[in-house]
């Protein structure tokens, strides 16, 4: 069931909940077992809030009085007016490639695919959300040109008010249908248990590229506190994806930790760190800059942004 709130009350609930818990949007999305892009859509009232998500919130009793009604899940998951056919403009449909596999990994990490009837705008779209302080360069100078190259679509860039989230978005029915054919399900990736598709798994080159996209978005690199050692971390609440990422690393000869806290995989041994950087690498400057600063490996082992 989905809850229909008075205008701006769903937004107020999520903002107050986030502030009361002193969490970032990413941390709150992890707690609610949602991907961050979906949570941001709820915050901006583009989507009606599911009842089970509402019931996880500490402030639910305070905001219960603002609920106008409940609707079935298939009711305008994006709130609004008449049904739209979406943008049916023809696009380029790329063949399977390392570039497409990397894009797929980015989508698995910070992307979201929307295919919902009952709204006059944005019914068929993809959106990739990042932190405007750390990910803007990556999204605008790397991911945006990648989408243009792959699909001949130019995404728009936007920033959410009252948050540090920046996004790129492409509206296209053909693009959504293409990604569905590639096994990417619309809606929340964690609930839908979206994982790495077979066309990527069976090709080691594609698998490396997909993992790069995943680690660029849901990964992190840092020095361990009070130690002369470092760690590459991957964090996600999708249990299927966590297991597939770990199995894929091992298949490629990189040996990470077991899954910890139900959401994390770590690479800590220096030999495994160097193998990861050499075989998979990063495209996101926020990771490349840290690796360069720590002198773990030359930046040429990663994927460098063009000027």
DSSP 64: G
Give pLDDT tens digits for 12-34.
999 899 989 988 888 888 888 88
Is the pLDDT score of 81 beyond 60?
Answer: no
Residue (of 284, 297, 169, 190) closest to 236 by Cα position? 190
Please compute Rg for the chain using Cα positions.
Answer: 20
pLDDT band at 69 (very low <50, low <70, confident <90, very high): confident
Work out the angle at residue 244's Cα, subtended by the Cα atoms of residues 240 and 248, and round it to the nearest 5 degrees.
175
Lowest pLDDT segment from 40-44, 100-104, 146-150? 40-44
Q: What is the mean pLDDT of residues 135-162?
A: 92
The pLDDT assigned to 296 comes to 63
Compare 87 and 304 and report the one with higher pLDDT.
87
Give pLDDT tens digits for 29-58.
888 888 777 788 788 777 788 888 999 999
pLDDT over 90 percentage in the chain: 52
Q: What is the mean pLDDT of residues 232-259?
A: 95
**Residue 203, class by beta-carbon neighbours within 10 Å (0-12 exposed, 13-18 middle, 19+ buried)?**
middle
Is the pLDDT score of 160 beyond 80?
Answer: no
Compare 134 and 104 and report the one with higher pLDDT.
104
Residue (of 45, 216, 189, 32) closest to 130 by Cα position? 216
The span from the CA of 182 to the CA of 196, in Å, is 10
Q: What is the mean pLDDT of residues 52-66?
A: 91
**pTM summary value:** 0.75
The span from the CA of 151 to the CA of 100, in Å, is 10
The pLDDT assigned to 151 comes to 96
pLDDT band at 127 (very low <50, low <70, confident <90, very high): very high
Helix (H) or strand (E) holding 14, with range, is: helix 9-21
For each of the domains in the chain, give its residue range(s) and CATH number, in order of start: 2-71 (1.10.260.40), 98-181 (3.10.28.10), 198-301 (3.10.28.10)
Lowest pLDDT segment from 103-112, 202-211, 242-251, 290-299? 290-299
The span from the CA of 202 to the CA of 198, in Å, is 6
Compare 183 and 122 and report the one with higher pLDDT.
183
Is the pLDDT score of 83 beyond 60?
Answer: no
């Amino acid at each position: 069931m989905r809850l229909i709130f008075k205008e701006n009350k769903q937004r107020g609930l999520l903002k107050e909940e986030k502030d009361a818990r002193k969490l970032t949007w990413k941390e709150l999305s992890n707690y609610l077992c949602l991907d961050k892009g979906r949570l941001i859509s709820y915050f901006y009232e583009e989507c009606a809030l599911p009842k089970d998500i509402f019931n996880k919130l500490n402030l639910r009793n305070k905001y219960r009085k603002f609920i106008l009604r409940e609707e079935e899940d298939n009711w305008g998951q994006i709130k609004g007016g008449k049904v739209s056919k979406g943008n049916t403009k023809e696009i380029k449909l790329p063949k399977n490639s390392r570039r497409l596999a990397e894009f797929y990994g980015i989508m698995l990490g910070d992307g979201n695919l929307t295919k919902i009837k009952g709204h006059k705008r944005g019914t068929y779209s993809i959106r990739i959300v990042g932190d405007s302080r750390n990910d803007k360069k990556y999204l605008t100078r790397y991911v945006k040109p990648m989408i243009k190259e792959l699909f001949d679509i130019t995404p728009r860039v936007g920033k959410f008010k009252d948050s540090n989230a920046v996004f790129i978005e492409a509206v296209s029915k053909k693009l959504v249908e293409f990604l569905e054919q590639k096994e990417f399900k619309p809606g929340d990736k964690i609930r839908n248990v979206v994982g790495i598709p077979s066309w990527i798994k069976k090709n080691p080159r594609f698998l490396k590229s997909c993992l790069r996209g995943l680690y660029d978005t849901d990964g992190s690199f840092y020095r361990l506190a009070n130690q002369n050692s470092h760690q590459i971390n991957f964090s996600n609440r999708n249990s299927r994806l966590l297991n597939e990422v770990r199995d894929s690393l091992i298949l490629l000869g990189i040996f990470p930790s077991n899954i910890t806290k139900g959401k994390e995989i770590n690479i800590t041994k220096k030999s495994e760190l160097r193998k990861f950087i050499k075989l998979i690498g990063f495209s996101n400057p926020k990771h490349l800059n840290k690796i360069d600063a720590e002198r773990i490996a030359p930046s040429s082992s990663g994927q460098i942004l063009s000027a």
